Structure 1
Amino acid sequence: MSTGIELMQHALGINERNREPYRNYFLAGDGHADNSQWQELVTEGLATSRPSPDFCGGGVLYHVTDKGKALAISALPEPKKKTRYEEYLDADSCLSFSEWLLGYRIPEVEYNRQGECRMYRCSYDAAYGYPRRDVEGEWCKTKKAAKVSYKAALRQGVKDGRAH
């Protein structure tokens, strides 16, 4: 059996992370284990009750009063600190998690018809809204060599003030 506070929080659809009620009802069928607890809440003026609509097949429909709502919200524990991943999801940044977390853009690899590859990194031009390459390595025979070339281009770009 739940406590009266927990029942009101459930009826309101609130918890430590979602403190804004989005509903206000609790349907308890005949013989429901929480009916007695709800009747105590009604007696204390924290809830109201009425017979449930016919399509529900009997039982009682409970609603939390404004007094009960204030009590249920005040009894919620403080929200836990969001994880870094939850912060990332809320940021809606269009970056991958690793880019968002580490604070830099990850290079991409492209291949040509001769079997060579190179690494490059794009940034988005604010004026025109399209990607442009701000760092680009040389075409190389191996991915390892392409990475060395990319890192050299990145260092040079930082020196010249073109990349960061």
Structure 2
Amino acid sequence: MIEATEKQLELLWHTLGIHPECRLSSRNYFLTSPGYDDANNLDVLVAAGLMTCGKAPAFCAQDDVVYRATDEGKRFALDKLPPPPPPRKYTKFDAYLDECECYDGFAHFLGINMPQYQQRGEWGAREYRMVRYPRGSAYRQYRRHYDFARWSPYEMLEVVGEWAPTLKEAKASYKAALKQFRARPKLPANDFERLYSA
């Protein structure tokens, strides 16, 4: 039975251009010079009948040697490969990357209703609040929106934080309002009148 050291196996795999993730051989050569550690290990494989050696092409140094795996060496190399790793799990982000041109960001792909900031007042006396529009609203955004001045007091809002002097306080107020919104009993999908009259 033929045995090979780990270094010799790695050289054989490198000669064939294979590794655990890619088992299709795309080449079959290893160029080196005599006397090097690689050449010494490859000579052991030649003696075992797993490789052959021959003269290097004319553009190489005269003493260079080309090693090639034999058919038995190819079979041996493939048999000694560790089992392939399990395939990577296909995630929602992978699906998004496959068709990201169709969406305005990952949140849009997932259907997440992103909150937005609003602003009122003049410089030095500004106030901010964070709001979320209902699904289906023309004002709904799929990325966090910081264009503070573009909003109307007549727009229908789903979750509304209190006006606050800083963005941090506005966000904290929005989180409290969102918690209350989520605690409300679930309504039928199109029952907007009850939702906004309560």
TM-score by length of 2: 0.52
| Partner in structure 2 of residue 47 of structure 1 | 51
Aligned sequence identity (%) = 29
1:146 aligns with 2:174: yes
Of the candidates 25, 32, 35, which is equivalent to residue 21 of structure 1?
25
Residue 70 of structure 1 and its aligned partner are, at CA, apart by 1.4
Q: Name the CA distance, whole Å, in 1 between partners of 2:181 and 2:118.
A: 19
| Cα deviation code 1:125-145 (max 9, x no counterpart) | xxxxxx987xx8423232123
Q: Secondary structure at the match of 1:21?
A: coil
Q: Name the CA distance, whole Å, in 2 between partners of 1:4 and 1:160.
A: 68
Q: Name the CA distance, whole Å, in 2 between partners of 1:74 and 1:161.
A: 59
Unaligned runs of 5+ in 2: 98-105, 121-127, 143-156, 164-169, 191-198
**Match for 2:173: what amino acid?**
A
Q: How many residue pairs end up in the alignment?
A: 142
Equivalent residues of 1:119, 1:147 under 8 A apart: no
1:68 aligns with 2:73: yes
Distance 1:9 1:120, change over 3 A: farther
**Match for 2:129: what amino acid?**
E
The CA RMSD measured in Å over matched residues stands at 3.9
Q: Name the CA distance, whole Å, in 2 between partners of 1:157 and 1:76.
A: 58
**Match for 2:175: what amino acid?**
K
Equivalent residues of 1:24, 1:63 under 8 A apart: yes
| Partner in structure 2 of residue 94 of structure 1 | 96
| Partner in structure 2 of residue 127 of structure 1 | none
Residue 46 of structure 1 and its aligned partner are, at CA, apart by 1.9
Unaligned runs of 5+ in 1: 123-130
Q: Secondary structure at the match of 1:143?
A: helix
TM-score by length of 1: 0.60
Equivalent residues of 2:16, 2:25 under 8 A apart: yes
